[in-house]
């Protein structure tokens, strides 16, 4: 129960109960006191219907304790989130179908060909954002459900995001909320990458000009495990499932850059404190330098600079010493960044 609802419930209870002290056990509220003579337990329960599930009294050593179970908070999906999600399913299905060499605009029944790509990509993006959402709720940070962004692009989406509607106050919360998305998304993308590569075709290199996908360390490892000794004149024609996993890895890597309010920026600020602005500007400089090899980095650097900003805003708790838990989470995030880093995401 969040603090506002707890205080409101205590205020309501004071109308019927003379309250001595209040405590919590899990999600239950425990109130020590006594019912005012003109009221009964049934009347209180009736008055608070819809706010509490039950209230029971236990007497011990001459004292009365009231155990109150609040109503479970139901997560309602806002209409805009649902509309965007359905639209993203449609656009990613279209993109996946085109990857399979069919045109669902001419024959709508062929749109089902895009299911492998669409399901894989939406699952990775969705689990990434739900990781943030779950840990935001754990730390009592008000956050929205994921917003998916449909787009008429070759992958059908510009990704997904959640909005924090209340500040993150503690360093541990900042680390956990920031790292939960990339870690959760990576856990889903990793098996999808291996499955997608195993379903891919091996073709002879033709030397034809076209868009090529860059390799990360994890894609190289997966390829070596599944296709050891692949000849230099052969290459993978990546299956849509593998391509969706590759995009998921790319999104994970970009979000882990230690800049501003990117996921990596949250982690960096919590772990490095006063050093984080230096790290952020250093990371931005490296991103711009990588633009000499791939223009994609320049685009990302501009988006970060103008939309996300470089410095991370301060939090209330800047001084609590770090624990091994925060450091471990930070190291896991760093390892994922190293594994998913792609120096040149796209090249011709």
Instruction: Quick: pLDDT tens for 112-127.
Output: 999 999 999 999 999 9
CA pseudo-torsion sign 274, 276, 280, 281 = positive
Number of continuous H segments (helices) and E segments (strands) in the chain: 11, 10
pLDDT at 348: 61
CATH number of 3-70: 3.30.1360
| CA–CA distance, 41 with 133 (Å, rounded to integer) | 37
pLDDT at 208: 60
Q: Are 35 and 16 in contact (CB under 8 A)?
A: yes
- Angle CA 254–320–144, to nearest 5: 45
| CA–CA distance, 295 with 313 (Å, rounded to integer) | 29
pLDDT digits (tens, 9 = 90+) for 197-246: 999 988 887 766 556 888 999 999 999 999 998 887 888 888 999 999 99
Q: Which residues of 189-212 are buried (b: 16+ CB within 10 A; e: fewer)?
A: bbebbbbbbeebeeeeeeeeeeee
pLDDT at 123: 97
Confidence of residue 161 (pLDDT cuts 50, 70, 90): very high
pLDDT digits (tens, 9 = 90+) for 89-148: 999 999 999 999 899 988 988 999 999 999 999 999 999 999 999 999 888 888 899 999
- Domains of the chain, by residue range, sit at 3-70, 116-347
Q: Are 81 and 145 in contact (CB under 8 A)?
A: yes
pLDDT at 142: 85
First to last CA, the chain: 54
Strands 28-35 and 63-70: antiparallel
| CA–CA distance, 158 with 226 (Å, rounded to integer) | 30
**Rounded to whole angstroms, what are the CA distances from 95 to 81, 169, 289?**
21, 40, 32
Sequence-separated contacts (24+) of 224-228 with Cβ below 8 Å:
225/194, 226/194, 226/197, 226/198, 227/197, 227/202
pLDDT at 166: 81
Judged by DSSP in three states, 154 sits in coil
pLDDT at 75: 66
pLDDT at 248: 95
pLDDT digits (tens, 9 = 90+) for 315-346: 877 777 778 888 999 999 999 999 999 998 87
pLDDT digits (tens, 9 = 90+) for 189-210: 999 999 999 999 888 877 665 5
| CA–CA distance, 91 with 82 (Å, rounded to integer) | 14
pLDDT at 66: 86
pLDDT at 2: 60
pLDDT at 249: 95
pLDDT at 4: 58
pLDDT at 209: 53
Q: Percentage of the chain surpassing pLDDT 90?
A: 46
pLDDT at 127: 96
pLDDT at 91: 96
Strands 157-161 and 147-150: antiparallel
pLDDT at 1: 57
| CA–CA distance, 198 with 313 (Å, rounded to integer) | 44
Confidence of residue 314 (pLDDT cuts 50, 70, 90): confident
């Amino acid at each position: 129960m969040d603090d506002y609802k707890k205080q409101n419930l205590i205020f309501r209870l004071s109308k019927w109960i003379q309250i001595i002290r209040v405590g919590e056990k899990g999600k239950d509220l425990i109130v020590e006191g006594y019912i005012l003579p003109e009221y009964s337990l049934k009347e209180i329960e009736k008055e608070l219907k819809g706010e509490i599930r039950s209230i029971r009294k236990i007497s011990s050593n001459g004292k009365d304790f009231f155990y109150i179970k609040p109503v479970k908070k139901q997560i309602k999906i806002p209409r805009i989130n649902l509309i965007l999600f359905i639209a993203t399913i449609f656009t990613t299905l279209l993109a996946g179908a085109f990857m399979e060499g069919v045109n669902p605009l001419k024959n709508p029944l062929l749109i089902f060909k895009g299911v492998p790509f669409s399901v894989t990509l939406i699952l990775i993006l969705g689990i990434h954002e739900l990781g943030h959402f779950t840990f935001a709720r754990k730390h009592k940070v008000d956050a929205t459900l994921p917003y998916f962004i449909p787009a008429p692009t070759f992958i059908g989406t510009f990704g997904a995001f959640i909005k924090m509607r209340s500040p993150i106050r503690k360093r541990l919360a900042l680390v956990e909320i920031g790292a939960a998305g990339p870690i959760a998304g990576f856990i889903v993308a990793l098996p999808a990458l291996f499955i997608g590569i195993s379903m891919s075709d091996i073709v002879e290199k033709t030397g034809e000009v076209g868009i090529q996908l860059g390799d990360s360390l994890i894609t190289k490892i997966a390829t070596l495990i599944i296709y050891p000794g692949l000849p230099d004149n052969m290459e993978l024609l990546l299956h849509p499932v593998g391509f969706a996993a590759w995009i998921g890895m790319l999104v994970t890597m970009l979000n882990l850059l230690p800049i501003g309010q990117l996921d990596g920026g949250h982690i960096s600020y919590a772990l490095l404190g006063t050093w984080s602005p230096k790290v952020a500007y250093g990371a931005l400089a490296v991103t711009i330098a990588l633009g000499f090899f791939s223009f994609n980095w320049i685009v990302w650097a501009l988006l970060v600079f103008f939309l996300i900003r470089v410095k991370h805003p301060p939090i209330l708790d800047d001084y609590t010493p770090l624990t091994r838990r925060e450091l471990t989470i930070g190291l896991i995030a760093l390892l994922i960044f190293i594994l998913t880093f792609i120096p040149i995401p796209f090249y011709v």
